A = this chain, B = another copy of it.
Amino acid sequence: MRNLCVKVSYDGTAFNGFQTQPYGRTVQGEIEKAIKKLSGETIIIIGSGRTDAGVHAQGQVFNFYTKSSIPTERWAVALNTRLPKDIVIIEAHDVPEHFHARRSAKRKTYRYTIDMGKFPDVFGRQYRFHHPAPLNVEAMREGLRHLIGKHDFTSFTSIHSTKPHHVRTVYEADFVQEGPILHMYVTGNGFLYNMVRVIMGTLLWVGQGKLAPDEIKTILEGRSRSLAGPTAMAHGLMLMNVEYSL
């Protein structure tokens, strides 16, 4: 059977997350409905991972098996005409049958964005966390550096994490500032539930002077969620891309 791998962007504002839920509108649900309309097939797509309610994606990836003979290059256009406007398919590829969007993923990059302007930019309000008080970005960058590498991220995940172990590798992490807009980019081999948002919430404490940058190391080593800062709001988070070695 054909295995199709699809890259999709979505504005998470009006979704109850990526994954199908007992109630609420989800990205997965809308995509499965569009596939049904297009090929007539009732399919369950496999996402690279969930994103929470309100979280956005520039490059989420999913795969699914289809018997349809629709040419690969037609899928993106054909699905887009059947999808609501807050989901846009970017590309589709045929992949080997063993490809699995979650299990085959090698690296993921997330971005968390803060608007440090006195007043929020109204056109970015749904994609940035507005924090008008001054932040010490250099201290935040120094704190973030402690998280690069292979660590047990128990302190930086929700207590509701269902994962058997919490060791993950962060390959790259940095802040990029463009005027009042501050982006945190984090690339890793996988992310725990709420991990980027807890990292951001804790680094906000560093930026506000409530924590010294080196305390990030202490928190990491303490392996307890209670040591870290709050979970930053969902709407500042964006799944940028998922990488595979095919």
Contact = CB atoms under 8 A, between A and B. Distances in A.
B86 A119 contact: no
A53 B90 CA distance: 30
Interface string A51-90: 0000010100000000000000000100010000111111
A92 to B, nearest CB: 12
A123 B11 contact: yes
Interface in A7-59: 9-11, 56, 58
A125 interface: yes
A122 interface: yes
Contacts of A127: 123
A89 B86 CA distance: 27
A145 to B, nearest CB: 29
B9 A88 contact: no
Nearest to A238: B123
Give how many copies assemble into the complex.
2
Contacts of A86: 122, 125
B10 A122 contact: yes
Contacts of A88: 119-122, 125
Specify the main secondary structure of chain A where it touches its partner: mixed
Contacts of A125: 11, 85-86, 88
Residue from A86, A122, A125 having most chain B Cβ neighbours under 10 A: A122
Residue from A56, A119, A123 having most chain B Cβ neighbours under 10 A: A123
Contacts of A11: 122-123, 125
A85 B58 CA distance: 24
A87 B122 CA distance: 7
A119 B87 contact: no
A123 B56 CA distance: 9
A122 to B, nearest CB: 4
Interface of A: 9-11, 56, 58, 76, 80, 85-90, 119-123, 125, 127
Given A56-B123, A76-B119, 20 more contacts: A9-B121, A9-B122, A9-B123, A10-B122, A11-B122, A11-B123, A11-B125, A58-B123, A80-B119, A85-B122, A85-B125, A86-B122, A86-B125, A88-B119, A88-B120, A88-B121, A88-B122, A88-B125, A89-B119, A123-B127
